[in-house]
A and B are shown apart, each in its own frame.
Chain A
Amino acid sequence: MKKLIMIVLSLGLIGVGTGIYLFNKKPETVDDKKGINIAAADLAKAYSANERAADSLYLNQVIEVSGTVGSTETNQDGGLMVILTTGDPDADIQCTLRDKGVQVAKGAQVTLKGFCSGSGITGVSLTDCIVTK
């Protein structure tokens, strides 16, 4: 009987522990995830050609995009958006960096890893990005 109570209690504790863990878990990050490697120009082309098809491949997936930094913009919370050129001025790849204080120079060749949020009026968005190269 004692053994049974112990088992039930242990299971209960594990359940509560898991619940608390899940409840407080922070949103996922890209660090340990393998991304889909693609050049900025190819990602832009895929979205320009067929947004729905591109979404089915890339939306909310981890993407490692490589390209040249055309410009950067600082958002209102002090985060940096890195805009990669694609050869098409109406279809940039815009990557918001996850960590503040990271510097990326205009004209530099970079590889950024982040979650793809899809395409919009100013280009294709990647969010929660880190610089991998």
Chain B
Amino acid sequence: MKKFILTAAILAAGSTALFAQKYMTRTARITFDATSKGSPEDIAAVNNEVASILDSKTGDVVFQVPVKSFKFEKALMQDHFNENYMESDKFPKSDFKGKVGNLDALNFAKDGSYPTTVAGKLTIHGVSNDVNVPGTIVVKGTSVTLKAKFAVKLADYKISVPNMVADKLGKEALISLEGVLNQK
């Protein structure tokens, strides 16, 4: 009997390990566009250095963004972004920690595109807010692609837009995110 329990325990531990799959990337891509309507120039940037980890067993998902790695076309925009708005010396990271909502409906062993909603905490500029982000999870072999598009109100993260630039910089930023995570 003891032997049986031991075998069962080992099998259970083994199967847990088998299904506790983690997916990871260091090169997810985030773009943001905070261009005000009618602005003569685009206030937009891209960051290809976003790290992400997804645990397919628990549904836990993390995105972490090094703020200084956002690339703008012009130096002035990049400097203002880092110094005046994001204060990236003080807050060098933005991140999202959340959970995939409909984990039961996802089959990480079967290729396919699964719509989902991820609920969690988004931290930008040192301010955290609860958010629900709709997105898509695409399973293909041993990789998982996470895609999402959502808008962020700058005021919610204590980023104030001076009147002087209100004709260029909008009150909301549209964020697009795509990461191809590989099994660890």
Contact = CB atoms under 8 A, between A and B. Distances in A.
B49 A94 contact: yes
B171 interface: no
Interface residues of A, number: 30
B69 A125 contact: yes
A117 B26 contact: no
B140 interface: no
B26 A81 contact: yes
Which of A79, A123, A125 has the most B CB atoms < 10 Å from its CB? A125
A96 interface: yes
B68 A22 contact: no
Interface in B83-115: 88-89, 92-93
A122 B92 contact: no
Given A55-B92, A96-B49, A22 B76 contact: yes
Contact of A81 (B27, B73, B180): B27
Contacts of A81: 26-27, 48-49
Interface string B58-76: 0000101011110111111
Interface in A39-63: 55, 59-60
Contacts of B89: 59-60
B144 interface: no
A103 interface: no
A117 B92 contact: yes
A31 interface: no
Contacts of B71: 27
Kindly list the 8 A-B residue pairs having the minimum CB-CB distance in the complex, ordered from nearest. A117-B66, A118-B92, A75-B27, A75-B48, A117-B68, A122-B51, A25-B75, A127-B69
Given A94-B49, A122-B24, 6 more contacts: A75-B29, A94-B26, A117-B49, A117-B67, A121-B64, A122-B53
Interface of A: 22-28, 55, 59-60, 73-77, 79, 81, 83, 94, 96, 115-118, 120-123, 125, 127
Interface of B: 24-27, 29, 46, 48-49, 51, 53, 62, 64, 66-69, 71-76, 78, 82, 88-89, 92-93, 178, 180
